Amino acid sequence: MMRQYELVDRVRRYNPHTDEDLLNRAYVYAMRAHGQQKRASGDPYFTHPLEVAAILTELRLDDATIVAAVLHDTIEDTGVTKAEIDTLFGPEIGSLVDGLTKLKKLDLVSKRAAQAENFRKLLLAISEDVRVLLVKLADRLHNMRTLHYVSPEKRARIAEETLDIYAPLAGRMGMQNLRDELENLSFRYLMPEAFAMVSTRLEDLRETNRELIKTIEKELTEELALRGIEAEVRGRQKQPYSVWSKMERKSLAFEQLSDIFGFRVVVGETDECYRVIGVVHTKWPMVPGRFKDYISTPKQNDYRSIHTTVVGPGRQRVELQVRTRDMHDIACFGIAAHALYKDGQEASAPALSHESNAYNWLKRTIDMLAEGSSPEEFLEHTRLELFHDQVFCFTPKGRLIALPRGATPIDFAYAVHTNVGNSAVGAKINGRLAPLLAPLVNGDEVEIVRAEGQIPPAAWESIAVTGKARAAIRRATRDAVRAQYAGLGRQIVLRAFERAGKKFSEEKLRPALPRLARSSIEDVLAAVGRGEMFSGDVVKAVYPEFKEERKAPVPDRTEPGWFRMQKAQGVEFKSPGAAGAALPIRGLQGDLPVSFAPNGAVPGDRIVGIMTPGEGITVYPIQSPALEAFDDQPERWLDVRWDVEDSQALFPARIIVAAINEPGSLGAVATLVGEQGANIDDVTFNKKSPDFREMIFDIQVFDLKHLNDILSRLRVLPMVHKVERVIG
């Protein structure tokens, strides 16, 4: 545990005029107040506030902040009152500790259930004094550093909250170092495998590039010295979490990240930054579109630097950040940098007194964070700004529902509960009736008007923006469609039994299910309703001795078109003339056999049928080059449409994948296709050069969306160069 004199020493190192007596009194007071309390690690509780204070000494904060850190858990966890702290340490420290106590209560409410009222309290506490927030962030950092001692559930909740709230807040306040550490710790606890993977790759890369980095550092330092610029050049590597989130955000593979390595050039004066850029751009070609001047136009959180990317030695892309020492401090410590004690600073001036520039700067920042006076506006402009791609709405009972931007009451309803979504018929937004399609805005209170026995319209699926809502709508409509088919199937089956002079009952059908290769009666009925199963086969399954006299002729199954189609589809379609038959195509005439052109259409493609007298109808996608041959024979063109609702049938499609010729590229493509639920029928190699191989895959997909989804996923594979569909 940190000793009393150690704490004083740490502060005295940057603030020779610190009030030692104040620090000592706080130390003893908090130690007594926490007494025998223990942390999850088994350490005395008092070690925690001390470590929090130590983190803040690294940010070189004023005495009041350090003392508030030492005392930050006393009101909540021990018998101490605010009045007592006011009396012993003065009202300034008293209100800081009180603000922290309010924030601590927030930790008890998990983020998802966070109440607006509580959140307003948090923000009001922050706005009173930003130092409260600095202590809070240090408190969170220490808790994250010691997170492995708490239970796994608590660990996940705290790490998630850190990633969602505290890390972005640190970033917003310009405290990049703190943000990086909070993010990396959360990442490690939330996704240990991903964290390990990214860290290992970064470590490997660091090893591989060690010499190159040294070379660039040396070359650049010497080059700048030649022009009389004294600069500190440091190679730096992206943080694991920021690498990961970039991979996620842009769907990139690790290999595709071009800016894992960067260099930071720190100089003395602002004009030197521009001279450095001149030298760099003269020496190495710059990459267009990557130059950013945050010195002339600082970021909102006061970040200033010049960014550029050049093609450096070995044709490596090198990212550079150029800044002065002051800019560097602000980039690392943000708001806290304004509170730093500087050499020669007036001894007694508290860094964050109401008169100081630093305080005014903080005040401005807070005003910016909290533009607007009403609590609602407050809410809107602060926390909500941190999550600009989300909207936050409330249930009438005050539960907070976070949704992606563009979400509607439909998404809201499904976020509350699937049953609420399925039975939604209307919505009230802020007490007023509103259409279910109205986009929600921050702070809306949404009440869903419900009616039981509703089926959500299938069109909602394309309106909903959340995956949860879409999946639920799909399920509900599929269930409803299935129920309709089953109802139709029941009528057909009843009639078939009647015709056979038998009586239908579910009890008799149940033992016959294995013979029909179905697992439930509803399955059988729905299959009959959809035309996938012949009602006569159901009768025969129950009464094996029954022989049906079919009225319609059964198609000759050796007929080539018929056979080809069956093979291609992998499912049994009946010829359109047969009883209970169904083909996934509408608009057909008579009993003509139907087939699909090879490498042909999948549901979702616009299609056309071509009639060939004596042979039948061949279905082509409208963009098929083969159709040109029939351009001058309009009488053979037949208007057909898909009829594949709810079908689980697979359709053949051909794709060409050009990939880098390396071990595993075929495997990676095949795995991805398989993972997407498509079959691979055949693979052939078209061209094989030392660098590239072109593979032709004959695959089976459900529909066009499925196919396009596979194509776009293949395109993001690092080794894949080109992916195209081939239409015959």
- The catalytic residues are 76-77
Q: Which is nearer to Mn ion, 19 or 139 (CB)?
A: 139
Burial annotation 459-477 (CB, 10 A radius, 16+ → b, else e): ebbeebebeebbebbeebb
Q: Which is nearer to Mn ion, 30 or 538 (CB)?
A: 30
Rounded to whole angstroms, how far apart are CA atoms 471 and 418?
10
Pairing state of beta strands 317-324 and 261-267? parallel
Q: How far is the CB of 107 from Mn ion (least distance, A)?
A: 9
Residues numbered 683 to 712 that lie near Mn ion (CB under 5 A) are: none
Q: Which residue is nearest to Mn ion (CB)?
A: 139
Q: How far is the CB of 147 from Mn ion (least distance, A)?
A: 13
Q: How far is the CB of 486 from Mn ion (least distance, A)?
A: 59
Rounded to whole angstroms, how far apart are CA atoms 560 and 565?
9
DSSP 615: T
User: With CB under 5 A as the contact rule, which of the stretches 112-120, 139-147, 396-404, 430-438 interacts with Mn ion?
Assistant: 139-147
Q: How far is the CB of 723 from Mn ion (least distance, A)?
A: 52
Are the beta carbons of 543 and 502 closer than 8 angstroms? Answer: yes
Q: Which is nearer to Mn ion, 138 or 429 (CB)?
A: 138
Q: Which is nearer to Mn ion, 50 or 384 (CB)?
A: 50
Q: How far is the CB of 240 from Mn ion (least distance, A)?
A: 26
Range 672-681 contact pairs with CB under 8 angstroms and sequence separation of 24 or more: 672/710, 672/713, 672/714, 672/717, 673/697, 673/699, 673/710, 673/714, 676/706, 676/709, 676/710, 676/713, 677/702, 677/706, 678/650, 678/706, 678/707, 678/710, 679/570, 679/650, 681/652
Q: Which is nearer to Mn ion, 45 or 485 (CB)?
A: 45
- Give how many residues touch Mn ion by CB under 5 A: 2
Q: Pick the binder of Mn ion from 139, 161, 183, 319 (CB under 5 A).
A: 139
User: With CB under 5 A as the contact rule, which of the stretches 133-141, 164-172, 258-266, 639-647 interacts with Mn ion?
Assistant: 133-141
Please, which residues have CB within 8 angstroms of residue 428's CB and are 6 or more apart in sequence?
434, 446, 447, 449
Q: How far is the CB of 644 from Mn ion (least distance, A)?
A: 60
590 φ/ψ sector (left φ>0, alpha ψ -120 to 50, else beta): left
CA 263 to chain centroid, in Å, comes to: 29
Residues numbered 500 to 539 that lie near Mn ion (CB under 5 A) are: none
Please give the structure tokens belonging to residue 372: 């607007």
Rounded to whole angstroms, how far apart are CA atoms 571 and 618?
18
Angle between helices 20-34 and 47-58 (to 10 degrees): 150
User: Which residue has 């396009």 as its token pair?
Assistant: 708
Q: Which amino acid is at 112?
A: R
Residues numbered 663 to 682 that lie near Mn ion (CB under 5 A) are: none
Binding string, residues 68-87; x marks residues near Mn ion by CB under 5 A:
-----x--------------
Q: Which is nearer to Mn ion, 53 or 320 (CB)?
A: 53
Q: How far is the CB of 286 from Mn ion (least distance, A)?
A: 47
Give SS3 for 679.
strand
Give SS3 for 610.
strand
Residues numbered 566 to 605 that lie near Mn ion (CB under 5 A) are: none
DSSP 281: H
- CB count, 10 Å around CB of 534? 22
Q: How far is the CB of 34 from Mn ion (least distance, A)?
A: 11
Q: Which is nearer to Mn ion, 101 or 127 (CB)?
A: 101
Q: Which is nearer to Mn ion, 139 or 329 (CB)?
A: 139
User: With CB under 5 A as the contact rule, which of the stretches 80-88, 134-142, 167-175, 208-216 interacts with Mn ion?
Assistant: 134-142
Q: How far is the CB of 127 from Mn ion (least distance, A)?
A: 21
Q: Which is nearer to Mn ion, 139 or 444 (CB)?
A: 139
H/E stretch holding 620: strand 616-621
Q: What's the burial of 228, exposed, middle or buried (CB within 10 Å: 0-12/13-18/19+)?
A: exposed
CA 72 to chain centroid, in Å, comes to: 35
| Closest to 310 measured CA to CA, from 283, 328, 292 | 283
User: With CB under 5 A as the contact rule, which of the stretches 66-74, 108-116, 260-268, 718-726 interacts with Mn ion?
Assistant: 66-74
The alpha carbons of the chain give a radius of gyration, in whole angstroms, of 35
User: With CB under 5 A as the contact rule, which of the stretches 136-144, 443-451, 500-508, 669-677 interacts with Mn ion?
Assistant: 136-144
Are the beta carbons of 600 and 621 closer than 8 angstroms? Answer: yes
Q: Which is nearer to Mn ion, 131 or 574 (CB)?
A: 131
Q: How far is the CB of 118 from Mn ion (least distance, A)?
A: 18
Rounded to whole angstroms, how far apart are CA atoms 397 and 376?
16
Residues that bind Mn ion (CB under 5 A): 73, 139
